[in-house]
């Protein structure tokens, strides 16, 4: 099955500090986006990897992608993550893949196992997400600053990317949802279109880099890899 990957990188990424959007910040000497693209390139079954970026970030993106083979020319994202994914899906329509993995640029630590499981789960179920059991107890906050009713942790999962789909399924689901860009992941878009979304085991190492502290931890992780 032909599988393409959409890496959404069109966010402003400012919470990590430093002025430069987090997806272009260097991590162990290589831009986060480059590490994320490399995590997919050359993996069994992967055909193309498509970055979706903010047009203002094109120079940073060109630098991050320099010399990488198998990466398609980046396309412009939209004002929300959902709009950016939609732009990526439409950009693949002329030569559509059978399956598509949709991944956040801010997660550079994608393992070969995760990619293989994402492909297998999409082939089998049509729509699937990597999920982790929760280690923390979750509380809803009612009155600001006070704990409200908490859901039962046993039935909850924390969900990551890459999320994987049959291409036609998720493109149709995104088209149906266009104009109501309020969903923060693609599983929710598939669910809104009436599809069941399967889970496969996530990876605790596949963290999303968001804050300056995340980058400190990630630098340590990368240094250990190199040691
Ligand atoms: O902000 P957050 O980390 O939740 O964004 C998740 C991913 O979606 C990031 O990789 C970000 O670059 C991307 N995104 C996007 N277009 C937007 C907003 C976010 O591609 N308009």
Mean pLDDT (the chain) is: 93
ipTM: 0.97
Q: What share of the chain is helix, strand, coil (3-state, %, to 5)?
A: 35, 20, 40
- Give me 37's structure tokens: 């693209």
Q: What angle do CA 208, 213, 214 make, to 5 degrees?
A: 20
Ligand 1 neighbour 10 (Cβ under 6 A)? yes
Q: Which atom of ligand 1 is nearest to the CA of 79?
A: 21
Q: In whole angstroms, what is the distance from residue 135 CA to residue 140 CA?
A: 16
Ordered structural domains, the chain, with CATH: 3-226 (3.90.550.10)
Lowest-pLDDT choice from 24-38, 114-128, 133-147, 175-189: 133-147
**Nearby residues of 69 by Cβ (< 8 Å), 6 or more positions away:** 41
Ligand 1 neighbour 23 (Cβ under 6 A)? yes
Name the β-bridge partners of 71: 49
pTM of the model: 0.95
Residue pLDDT, tens place only, 10-44 = 998 776 566 789 999 999 999 999 999 999 999 99
Ligand 1 neighbour 106 (Cβ under 6 A)? yes
3-class secondary structure, 26:
strand
Gyration radius from the chain CA atoms? 17
């Amino acid at each position: 099955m032909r599988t393409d990957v959409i890496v959404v990188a069109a966010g402003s990424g400012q919470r990590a500090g430093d002025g430069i959007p987090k997806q272009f910040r260097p991590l162990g000497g290589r831009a986060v986006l480059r590490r994320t693209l490399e995590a997919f390139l050359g993996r069994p079954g992967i055909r193309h990897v498509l970055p979706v970026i903010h047009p203002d970030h094109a120079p940073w993106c060109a630098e991050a992608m320099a010399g990488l083979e198998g990466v398609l020319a980046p396309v412009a994202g939209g004002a929300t993550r959902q709009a950016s994914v939609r732009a990526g899906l439409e950009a693949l329509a002329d030569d559509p893949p059978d399956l598509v993995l949709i991944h956040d640029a801010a997660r550079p630590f994608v393992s070969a196992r995760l990619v293989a499981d994402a492909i297998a789960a999409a082939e089998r179920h049509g729509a699937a997400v990597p999920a982790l059991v929760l280690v923390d107890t979750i509380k809803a906050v009612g009155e600001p600053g006070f704990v409200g009713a908490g859901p039962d942790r046993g039935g909850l999962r924390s969900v990551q990317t890459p999320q994987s789909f049959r291409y036609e399924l998720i493109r149709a689901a995104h088209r149906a949802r266009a104009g109501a860009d309020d969903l923060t992941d693609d599983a929710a878009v598939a669910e809104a279109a009436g599809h069941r979304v399967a889970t496969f085991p996530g990876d605790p190492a596949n963290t999303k880099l968001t804050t300056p502290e995340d980058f400190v931890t990630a630098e340590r992780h990368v240094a250990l890899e190199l040691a």
